[in-house]
Amino acid sequence: MKNEELENRIAKVSGFVKMMTGVANNAALAIMVQCLNKVADVRPKDEYKEKPRQAHPRYKHEVKRLFNQVLDERDKYRRALLYPARNETRFFQMTDMPEEQRKMYGIISDSDYFEFWESTGALVEQKSQPLVGSLQNKFRLSLQRHNVRCADQVAWAMVGASVLELAVEVWDRAMRSATNSFEGKVPAGVCEKLYAPFSLKRVSEMWVKATRMLAPEADAYALDADEERNIAMGIEQLMELWVSPDLPFDAVIKAVEDFKDDVFSTTGYAKKAMRQLAEMRNEAIEEVNGGKGNS
């Protein structure tokens, strides 16, 4: 593989990784905050007049500290992407962009570009809500059957763990696709090392640790066959949505549309980006459908 070809391949792979993790990670982080608000019972003050505080009774002291550490890990993850160390790859620095790509964007900062990337998870988070609610209900019913206290809040904590683990799985899949795209021309582990900052693994692990301290009894029972099948089905439905051939592209198109006046130098460049993304989406759908037809 020639140097120019390798550079083009790296640029294409980086775009793919940023799209898939942008969609999955940012949707997962939004849902994670939603779940934490349910566990901690965060809501507008006027709503407390109608209904007493319903935070999990263990959400205090050490448990609260652990969930705060989850938020700290999230912030570290963001900083590592936006402000990488001197010897690490830069992914969101406007000055690093090729001139042809840079002129698409207006006079914006690295933070503006990063905020635009984060917004690509919004559509996926929105479309995930029915499945998130269904999954929470499945966890809640299982916890209630096994007499776990505060089943509603614990179920939300388990949903948070599930979506973060899904985001890590999307990163894993992206790494496998990235590695395969180089056709053995790069050593094993190169992609994982290069794109490690995009992984939510540390956030996920801290959330699981906090959830186990919140409800240790939830770890003490085994799911029966029906419960395991129903919950696995709910998680699988979310994964299918997040890695569907069309939704990641639709999510980025929606972000371009929302930020066209704030990020792009002209409306024409924004429309061009949306057309290119739509073409890529159609190609991805055709490739999947073609694969199904040949199987």
Q: 208: which 2 tokens?
A: 């699981």
pLDDT tens-place string over residues 72-100? 999 999 999 999 988 888 999 999 888 88
What are the pLDDT digits (tens) for 206-259?
Answer: 999 999 999 888 877 788 889 899 999 999 999 999 999 999 999 999 999 999
Average pLDDT of every residue of the chain: 89
Q: What percent of the chain has pLDDT over 70?
A: 89
Environment class of residue 173 by beta-carbon count within 10 Å: exposed (0-12), middle (13-18) or buried (19+)?
middle
The pLDDT-based confidence of 48 (bands split at 50, 70, 90) is low
Q: Decide which of 267 and 87 is more confident.
A: 267
Helical pair 3-40 and 151-181, crossing angle rounded to 10 deg: 180
The whole-number pLDDT of residue 44 equals 62
pLDDT at residue 182, rounded to an integer: 76
- For the segment 182-186, the average pLDDT, to the nearest whole number, is 71
Q: How far apart are CA 177 and CA 175, in angstroms?
A: 5
196: left (phi over 0), alpha (psi -120 to 50) or beta: alpha
What residue segments make up the domains of the chain, in order of their start? 3-294
Phi, psi of 89 (to 5 degrees): -70, 140
> Facing residues of 264 across strands?
105
Q: Give the rounded distance of the alpha carbon of 70 from its chain centre.
A: 15
Q: Give residue 295's pLDDT.
A: 45
What pLDDT was estimated at residue 50?
A: 62
Instruction: Tell me the pLDDT tens digit for each residue of 1-39.
Output: 555 666 667 778 888 999 999 999 999 999 999 999 999
